[in-house]
Amino acid sequence: MSRYKKYAGGDPLAPPVDIAEALDAIGEDVMSGYSPERAMREFLRRGGQDQRGLDDLARQVAERRRELLQRHNLDGTLEQVRELLDRAVLEERKQLARDVTMDDGDRAFREMQIDNLSPNTAAAVSELSSYDWTSREAREAYDEIKDLLGREILDQRFAGMKQALEGATDEDREAIAEMLRDLNALLDKHNRGEDTDSDFDEFMAKHGQYLPENPQNIDELLDTLAQRSAAAQRMLNSMSPEQRRELMELSAQAFGSPALMDQLAQLDANLQAARPGEDWYGAEEFGGGEGLGLGDGTGVLQDIAELDQLSEQLQQSYAGSRLDDIDLDALSRQLGDQAAVDARTLQELEQALRDSGQLERGSDGDLRLTPKAMRQLGRSLLRDVAQRLSGRQGERDLQRAGAAGDLSGSSRPWAFGDTEPWDVPRTVTNAIIREVGEGRSGPGVRLTVDDIEVQETEARTQAAVALLVDTSFSMAMDGRWVPMKRTALALHTLIKSRFRNDDLQLISFGRYAQTMEIEKLTALDAIWDKGTNLHHALLLANRHFRKHPSAQPVLLIVTDGEPTAHLEPGGDVWFSYPPHPVTIARSVDELENARRLGAQTTFFRLGDDPGLARFIDSMARRVEGRVVAPELDDLGAAVVGSYLGDRTARRTSNSYGGYPDAFGGRGWWAG
- Say whether both 467 and 448 belong to one domain: no
Quote the pLDDT of residue 204.
94
Question: Does 99 score more than 80 pLDDT?
Answer: yes
Question: Does 8 score more than 80 pLDDT?
Answer: no
Quote the pLDDT of residue 580.
92
d(CA 561, CA 67): 55
Per-residue pLDDT band for 458 (boundaries 50, 70, 90) equals low
Beta bridge partners of 604: 558, 628
Question: Does 375 score more than 70 pLDDT?
Answer: yes
- What is the SS3 assignment for 501-547? CCEEEEEEECCCEEEECHHHHHCCCCCCCCCCCHHHHHHHHHHHHHH
Per-residue model confidence as pLDDT tens digits over 281-298: 999 999 888 999 988 999
Give the strand pairing for 359-361 and 51-52. unpaired
Q: What is the DSSP string of 279-341?
A: -SS-------SEE--HHHHHHHHHHHHHHHHHHHHHHT-STT--GGGS-HHHHHHHH-HHHHH
In a domain, 51, yes or no: no
- Among residues 137, 164, 191, which one ends one of the domains? 164
| C-alpha distances out from residue 506 to 194, 384, 437, 496, 646, Å | 71, 21, 36, 13, 18
> Can you tell me whether residue 568 is helix, strand or coil?
coil
| C-alpha distances out from residue 628 to 384, 480, 600, Å | 19, 16, 14
Question: Does 401 score more than 60 pLDDT?
Answer: no
- Say whether both 235 and 146 belong to one domain: no
- Say whether both 480 and 588 belong to one domain: yes
In a domain, 97, yes or no: yes
> Can you tell me whether residue 361 is helix, strand or coil?
strand
Domain of residue 519, CATH code: 3.40.50.410
Quote the pLDDT of residue 491.
86
Contact partners, residue 663, CB within 8 Å, separation at least 6: 628, 630, 634, 637, 638, 641, 642
- Say whether both 264 and 181 belong to one domain: yes
Q: What is the mean pLDDT of residues 429-455?
A: 82
Quote the pLDDT of residue 508.
93
- Say whether both 100 and 239 belong to one domain: no
End-to-end CA separation in angstroms for the chain: 80
In a domain, 348, yes or no: no
- Say whether both 487 and 628 belong to one domain: yes
In a domain, 203, yes or no: yes
**Of 131-140, 414-423, 531-540, 566-575, where does mean pLDDT reach its minimum?**
414-423
- Say whether both 617 and 499 belong to one domain: yes
Quote the pLDDT of residue 650.
46
Burial bucket for residue 346 (CB in 10 Å: 0-12, 13-18, 19+): buried
In a domain, 476, yes or no: yes
More confident residue, 316 or 401: 316
Per-residue pLDDT band for 328 (boundaries 50, 70, 90) equals very high
Q: What is the mean pLDDT of residues 61-79?
A: 93
- Among residues 230, 246, 274, which one ends one of the domains? 274
414-430 as b/e: b if 16+ CB within 10 A: bbeebebebbeebbeeb
Quote the pLDDT of residue 117.
92
Per-residue model confidence as pLDDT tens digits over 156-165: 888 888 887 8
- Say whether both 468 and 565 belong to one domain: yes
- Say whether both 521 and 563 belong to one domain: yes
Question: Does 23 score more than 90 pLDDT?
Answer: no
Cis peptide before 443 (omega within 30 of 0): no
Per-residue model confidence as pLDDT tens digits over 383-393: 777 666 664 43
In a domain, 310, yes or no: no
Give the strand pairing for 290-291 and 72-73. parallel
Burial bucket for residue 303 (CB in 10 Å: 0-12, 13-18, 19+): middle
d(CA 207, CA 214): 11
d(CA 286, CA 275): 26
The DSSP symbol for 422 reads B
d(CA 132, CA 136): 11
More confident residue, 666 or 141: 141
Q: What is the mean pLDDT of residues 64-84?
A: 92
Cβ atoms of 588 and 622 closer than 8 Å = yes
**Of 98-102, 236-240, 630-634, where does mean pLDDT reach its minimum?**
630-634
Burial bucket for residue 300 (CB in 10 Å: 0-12, 13-18, 19+): buried
In a domain, 427, yes or no: yes
As for how many domains the chain has, the answer is 4
Cβ atoms of 466 and 508 closer than 8 Å = no
Per-residue pLDDT band for 656 (boundaries 50, 70, 90) equals very low
Range of the domain at 77: 70-164
Select from 568, 560, 553, 666 the least CA-distant residue to 603.
Answer: 560
In a domain, 453, yes or no: yes
- Say whether both 235 and 145 belong to one domain: no
Contact partners, residue 336, CB within 8 Å, separation at least 6: none
Q: What is the mean pLDDT of residues 371-382?
A: 73
More confident residue, 167 or 531: 531
d(CA 286, CA 262): 29
